[in-house]
Amino acid sequence: VMRLKSVVKKALRIATNAGASPVKAKTIQEAPHRFGFLKKSLRIRVKLYQADTIGVAIIGPKSDYVRFK
């Protein structure tokens, strides 16, 4: 049972990440490009809720991104 749960969890993460990829690509395309830091720092983070049955993709700048001009 535990093995099946981890397989389902991994499949949900992969599917959620794949679904968020076009959104991330469009966000990168539309991001302001004065210096390009936002474009470089965008990442997808996947959260699973309610006993690993709901997957949510959070697309935004990585919190520990260090920029250099």
Residues 15-67: tens digit of each pLDDT: 999 999 999 999 999 988 888 888 888 999 999 988 778 999 999 988 877 77
What does pTM read for this prediction? 0.77
How far is the C-alpha of 29 from the C-alpha of 63, rounded, in Å?
Answer: 20
The pLDDT value recorded for residue 39 is: 87
Which residue is listed with tokens 């920029």? 67
DSSP-derived 3-state class of residue 28? helix
The pLDDT value recorded for residue 69 is: 63
* Residue 21 CB contacts under 8 Å (≥ 6 apart), including other chains: 44
The pLDDT value recorded for residue 44 is: 95
* pLDDT at 3 > cutoff 70: yes
* pLDDT at 2 > cutoff 80: no
